[in-house]
Amino acid sequence: MVVGFDESLSILENPTRRSILRHLVKEPHYPLQLSELLDVSQQAVVKHLKVLEEAGFVDSEMKKSDKGGPPKKVYRVNQSFSIRLDLGPDLFRAEHRKMPRGVSFSGGLPDNLESVLGKISSRKSLPIVDAMGILSELDAALESVDRQRDSIIALHQQVMHKVSPSLERGFESYEERQLAHAMMRNPEDRWTWMLSPRV
């Protein structure tokens, strides 16, 4: 089950659910554990877990107690995705991306991270010290990508700002301007040629 953008935002706007997920991404937890960690009643935690499970964010299974008691339900994260929202003058971009798993991500890595893939591909487990070094390298790469993305978005915003006067001069009606905006969002569109005589 893949959760869409709107449903993801609706679920994640709740701070308690976000806190629950922060713990579940580290390892599976029982509701009682989460209740104690978050200082929230177990009843409230179970209610939030039900919402997360129904949406496909988490799944659960019954696990035997280490102390010999009755089996307990344990929860783990079941989704890998990224939500992006860019908002500003002349800019609105909202997207929900499913994260690749396993070997499927290798084709999208920059060249300088191929060595990292080589370090982990043949190993079933990593010592903590090795993992810390690799994660530090990946965090630095993510920060670099984010800075580059910010610059590209800023440039995109500048282009949209500079084309606004052309839209106002070339298209009198609101409907025409909306069509022009739609075409600029999809510049490969076969109708794009219609713009050139008018701007």
* Per-position b or e across 89-107, b if 16+ CB within 10 A of its CB: eeeeeeebeeeeeeeeeee
Q: Count Cβ atoms within 10 A of the Cβ of residue 52 and give its class: 0-12 exposed, 13-18 middle, 19 or more buried.
A: buried
Number of H helices, E strands in the chain: 7, 4
Shared-domain flag, residues 18 and 67: yes
pLDDT at 45: 98
Does residue 184 form part of some domain? no
Residue, of 93 and 15, whose pLDDT is higher: 15
Residue, of 176 and 2, whose pLDDT is higher: 176
Shared-domain flag, residues 71 and 115: no
**Residue among 76, 79, 120 nearest 99 (CA):** 79
Of the listed ranges 113-117, 150-154, 194-198, the one predicted with least confidence: 194-198
One-letter amino acid for residue 188 of the chain = E
**Residue 199 binned pLDDT confidence (cut-offs 50, 70, 90):** very low
Q: Which domain holds residue 156?
A: 110-168
Shared-domain flag, residues 72 and 24: yes
pLDDT tens digit sequence for 130-177:
899 989 999 999 999 999 999 999 998 898 888 888 888 888 888 888
pLDDT at 62: 92
Does residue 189 form part of some domain? no
**Residue 32 binned pLDDT confidence (cut-offs 50, 70, 90):** very high
User: Is a pLDDT exceeding 70 seen at residue 191?
Assistant: no
Q: What is the mean pLDDT of the chain?
A: 85
Shared-domain flag, residues 59 and 120: no
Of the listed ranges 76-90, 125-139, 182-196, the one predicted with least confidence: 182-196
Does residue 48 form part of some domain? yes
**Averaged pLDDT, 38-46:** 97
Does residue 163 form part of some domain? yes
**Residue among 161, 143, 146 nearest 88 (CA):** 161
Residue, of 121 and 54, whose pLDDT is higher: 54
pLDDT at 41: 97
Count of domains in the chain?
Answer: 2
Residue, of 83 and 102, whose pLDDT is higher: 83
The domain boundary, picked from 77, 92, 119, lies at 77
Shared-domain flag, residues 65 and 116: no
Does residue 121 form part of some domain? yes
**Residue among 8, 17, 25 nearest 77 (CA):** 25
DSSP state of 86: E
Does residue 192 form part of some domain? no
**Averaged pLDDT, 19-42:** 96
DSSP state of 80: -
User: Is a pLDDT exceeding 80 seen at residue 196?
Assistant: no
Of the listed ranges 29-38, 113-122, 137-146, 182-191, the one predicted with least confidence: 182-191
Does residue 148 form part of some domain? yes
Q: Where are the alpha helices (DSSP H) in 88-187?
A: 114-120, 128-170, 174-185
